[in-house]
Amino acid sequence: MSESGSIVAETAARIFADLADPQEVNRARDGAWKGRLWQALADAGLTLAWVPEENGGSGAELADGFAILGVAGRYAAAVPLAETLLAGWLLSRAGLRAPEGAMSLAPARPEDRLVLNADGTLSGQARGVPFAKEARHLAALAGSSVALVETAACRLNEGVSLAGEPSNTVTFDSVKPVAVAPAPAGLNQPALMLMGCVVRSVETAGALEAILEMTVRYANERVAFERPIAKFQAVQHNLARLAGEVSAAMTAAYSAADAIARADTFDDVIFLEATAAKIRSAEAAQEGAAIAHQVHGAIGFTNEHILHRYTLRMLSWRDDFGNESYWAAALGNHVAARGADEFWPLVAAC
């Protein structure tokens, strides 16, 4: 991590530690903590880190934004930080100014499409848009155009994710955008989905890291038959498996994030890195959640314990921007289309 990335990550970590401690959030009777956390993140310039200063942001590097997301994953806070970062990135790529406040982006599924009509309005439907109900604005990619839309101008359903957070189907029925601009060359829907894949992979890696620490600590504290359960071979085996899943997810996610931070375009290398990261981190989320709950036993399933705050979010993130099954098929088709002679050069390029 660069020096600037380290400073950004440390700033984010201090804010989350002060205002989003998982234990305190889990005991909170209302969502008042969200407002305080969001204000602190915004005041520090973290919510619009990927937006240039001339467009209303703090102008941080892509690597800095990914560092923020890694910290956010370790706290599993239910605020639309990742969505706002992504929306700001999309708007800034088209030269549009990012508004203040929470944002989300559409579409959030590879199969959904939005259309910019001849009269300048937007039409179409986007499913599973994370935190759409809590966002003041949406950044929308419609074909070769990027638009800023007021969420209130759209029709939303009342959907929620596995973690109980807003995950809405957004209907654009001839919605007039606040602003619209052509998308730059190379910024299309596949590129947006790949960027989303890496964002979710980095968050998942951070959450898995926190789960590993939590599970190891619990295994050393929980006593059965007069000794910590971490002394039992079966539990040690599970902890080793969990550590392996965490390591694999972190390696894939941060490799993809580093590749995007260094790249100029979403080429074959980015496609392989991003799809591999989404597939591996999603698999690790499923396996890691199962292992952590097995070690914790019944207590891990209770609302009083913080484990579910992590596992439910990780499992819900698997579906955003295409699940691992979708990307596994896309990766296979991509490699097959290149032919046998191109397979090794394609792999070696990463």
Task: Compute the Cα dihedral for 51, 52, 54, 57 and give only its sign.
Answer: positive
| Residue 268 shares a structural domain with residue 341 | yes
Same domain? For 181 and 213 the reply is no
Q: Give residue 192's pLDDT.
A: 97
178 with 234, same domain: the answer is no
- Considering the chain, what is the average pLDDT of its residues? 94
> Which parts of the chain fold into alpha helices (H)?
3-19, 22-27, 32-43, 62-75, 81-93, 189-221, 233-262, 268-296, 307-317, 324-338, 343-348
pLDDT of residue 300: 85
Of 10, 43, 77, which one is at a domain's C-terminal end? 77
Name the nearest CA neighbour of 92 among 224, 167, 184, 210: 184
pLDDT at residue 342, rounded to an integer: 79
Mean pLDDT, residues 81-106: 97
Q: What is the pLDDT of residues 263-316, one digit of tens each?
A: 989 999 999 999 999 999 999 999 999 999 999 998 888 888 999 999 999 999
Domain boundary among 185, 201, 221: 185
Is 58 part of a structural domain of the chain? yes
Over residues 322-326, the mean pLDDT reads 96
Range of the domain at 152: 101-185
Mean of pLDDT values over 253-260 = 97
Q: Residue 350 pLDDT more than 70?
A: no
Residue 256 vs residues 33, 200, 210: alpha-carbon distances, Å: 32, 11, 20
10 Å CB burial of residue 50 (0-12, 13-18, 19+) is buried
193 and 178 share one domain: no
pLDDT digits (tens, 9 = 90+) for 209-243: 999 999 999 999 999 998 999 999 999 999 999 99
pLDDT tens, position by position, 109-155: 999 999 999 999 999 999 999 999 999 999 999 999 999 999 999 99
pLDDT of residue 10 exceeding 60: yes
**pLDDT score of 3:** 56
Q: At 142, phi and psi to the nearest 5?
A: -120, 100
Q: Assign residue 148 the CATH number of its domain.
A: 2.40.110.10
Report if residue 83 sits inside a domain.
no
The CA distance from 130 to 180, in Å, is 22
**Do both 122 and 252 map to the same domain?**
no
Which pLDDT score, from 0 to 100, does residue 5 have? 59
Q: Give domain status of residue 91, yes or no.
A: no
Token pair for 13: 């970590």
What's the number of domains the chain is made of?
A: 3
In a domain, 255, yes or no: yes
Last residue of a domain, one of 153, 168, 185: 185
Mean pLDDT throughout 17-24?
Answer: 94
- In DSSP notation, 230-278 reads GGSHHHHHHHHHHHHHHHHHHHHHHHHHHHHHH-SS--HHHHHHHHHHH
Same structural domain, 137 and 159: yes
- Within-domain flag for 94: no
Share of the chain above pLDDT 70, in %: 98
Asked whether 177 and 87 are in contact (CB, 8 A), the reply is no
Q: Residue type at 97?
A: R
Same domain for 193 and 156, yes or no, is: no
Question: Within a domain: residue 86?
Answer: no
Q: Is 229 found in the same domain as 111?
A: no
278 and 295, same domain (yes or no): yes
In a domain, 256, yes or no: yes
Q: Inform me whether the pLDDT recorded for 178 exceeds 90.
A: yes
Report the sign of the C-alpha dihedral through residues 217, 161, 99, 262, in that order: positive
pLDDT tens across 234-245, in order? 999 999 999 999
Mean pLDDT of 333-343: 85
**Same domain assignment for residues 107 and 256:** no
Q: Is 85 a member of any domain?
A: no
Angle 248-189-102 from CA coordinates, rounded to 5°: 80
**Are residues 195 and 269 both part of a single domain?**
yes
Residues 267 and 333 in one domain: yes
